Chains A and B, each alone.
Chain A
Amino acid sequence: MFESIILAGFGGQGILLAGRLLALAGMKEGKHVTWLPSYGPEMRGGTANCMVIISNEPIGSPIVTFPNTLFIFNQPSLEKFLPKLLPGGLLIYDSSLVNYNSSRKDIDLVAIPATRLSVDIGDQRVANLIMLGAYVARKGFPSTEKMLSALKETLGEKKASMFEINERAFRKGLTYGKEA
């Protein structure tokens, strides 16, 4: 397996955290992983993205130029990264915020209204976990158990009270992704 992933959206949507959870769950699955954030001036302008690699082999470059999976949380990110998505790649986007206006037919598309679903759950901040649920539904990897274990570990004791709502969001995405 060689998963090269870009997650992109606005600052505050939990992009970096979502990438971190994927990397940590991948590690718990026994894979080699890297996580690389954008920390440049664009971050201060309100957009955020990170690059995650999950691989059976030791990872050389941690930089993802041409991803095989793309998580898109806002419109500018779709325009920036969609042309780089490899043919046959997977695009997961938040259809509450993003209008898919491309003619590309050579990719696997998962449109999930993550923000609307997160409002139903009661906290917009968990849209990122809904997106992750959709990914796991599509890929069958990492396992739900490893994702939730990564979530628990990352929230730690300080934010343990946030676990339950994040788990609910993840499972909502999982269900939605399986039905989609």
Chain B
Amino acid sequence: MAEKLLMKGNEVLAEAAVRAGCRYFFGYPITPQNEIPEYMSWRLPEVGGVYLQAESEVAAINMVFGAAGAGARVLISSSGPGISLMQEGISYIAAAELPCVIINVSRGGPGLGGILPAQSDYFQATRGGGHGDYHLIVLAPHTLQEAFDLTVLAFDLADKYRNPVMIYADGFIGQMMEPVELRDPIDLSTLPPKPWAITGAKGRERNLIKTLYLEGDKLEAHNFRLKRKYDEIVRNEVRYELYMMDDADFAIAAYGTSARIAKTAVKVLRDKGIKVGVIRPITLFPFPYSVYESFANQLKYILVVEMSMGQLIYDVEYSVKGKVPVGLLPHAGGIAPTHEEIVSRILERVESRGDQR
């Protein structure tokens, strides 16, 4: 039976990684994710793993490149400015088709910004982030139980698709505490083999991991191969939650902590007789475009709530293609939307259109 513990989000992310078989962690400190490296620094040696604080984010991500190439389950974590520094390495890892898990406990930007929670790295997370055509699989937990479950899933998806997976959590998820049921650790010996890994070529043909293709046709073929993989990920891995959407006239689009706040707003609005729900992407890539589209004819209005200045809204608008009006409630800098604010934005809309029933 799983244990139920009151834990801090960052510690949940770290423990989930260990239980998913992660034995290598490389990183460089930055608020608000410092509890992850702190936890790993004592936890990984307990299970025979390696924790290493690198001299910089650039060094750390290239250590991940090496460990992933050797077939290890490896984790790196940081926040906005640190994730930006890692982008070159992440692009190389995606190009080399190596599995790893990257945690971004995001804070307010741009630049050095601040240390308070934000969701303003959405474009960076969902569009690849570095140079070239590539995608990360991006998972956005909104509770600590989900943070645990998605981190375990992240390692499986990374191995399955040989692709970096990002856990995109905001600072609230990292810093808050909530009860979590921890699943038992996986048995490392049950993991599928990685015949492509660089493990010493004695007795077999040697493996090659590289990202350089000087001939145009070979590089194009590589890009098409990557595209086929991303298409497969889009077909297989879209995850989302519909909250009170069955009879909804209005929807709130939100992920992570914003989605939790939206759910509270929905309860308040439902008590007033307003039929409203939440469509919550769990995977930010692949994005649940068709899910939003499927509600376009049912809905009178979608309010996008994000702790950024209008990034998620691009994907929502792309989904519904103008069939339903889409509004934005943005915040930044560590200021979270309040559920009262969401309630009043929806009520304004209800009243202005005379749609209340």
Q: Does B261 contact A (CB under 8 A)?
A: yes
Q: Does A24 contact B (CB under 8 A)?
A: yes
Q: Find the B residue at minimum CB distance from A35.
A: B177
Cβ contact within 8 Å between A63 and B336: yes
Cβ contact within 8 Å between A62 and B6: no
A130 to B267, CA, bound (A): 35
State which residues 20-76 of A face B: CB under 8 Å: 20, 23-24, 27, 32-37, 39-41, 59-63, 65
State which residues 63-108 of B face A: CB under 8 Å: none
A35 to B171, CA, bound (A): 13
Q: Does B310 contact A (CB under 8 A)?
A: no
* Residues of chain A contacted by B177 (CB below 8 angstroms): 20, 23, 33-36
Cβ contact within 8 Å between A40 and B179: no
Task: Classify chain B: how many residues form its interface, as a range.
Answer: 20 to 34
Q: A35-B177, A40-B116 are in contact. Are A61 and B261 (CB under 8 A)?
A: yes
A37 to B173, CA, bound (A): 11
A171 to B341, CA, bound (A): 41
Task: Classify chain A: how many residues form its interface, as a range.
Answer: 10 to 19
Cβ contact within 8 Å between A35 and B176: yes
Q: A60-B267, A61-B261 are in contact. Are A40 and B178 (CB under 8 A)?
A: no
A91 to B264, CA, bound (A): 24
* Residues of chain B contacted by A27 (CB below 8 angstroms): 4, 6, 179
CB distance from A31 to the nearest CB of B (A): 9
* Residues of chain A contacted by B176 (CB below 8 angstroms): 34-37, 62
What residues of chain A have their CB less than 8 Å away from a CB belonging to chain B?
20, 23-24, 27, 32-37, 39-41, 59-63, 65
Pairs A–B under 8 Å by Cβ, sample size 9: A24-B6, A39-B115, A39-B175, A40-B114, A59-B178, A60-B260, A60-B267, A61-B261, A65-B340
What residues of chain B have their CB less than 8 Å away from a CB belonging to chain A?
4, 6, 31-32, 114-116, 171-172, 175-179, 257, 260-265, 267, 334, 336, 338-340
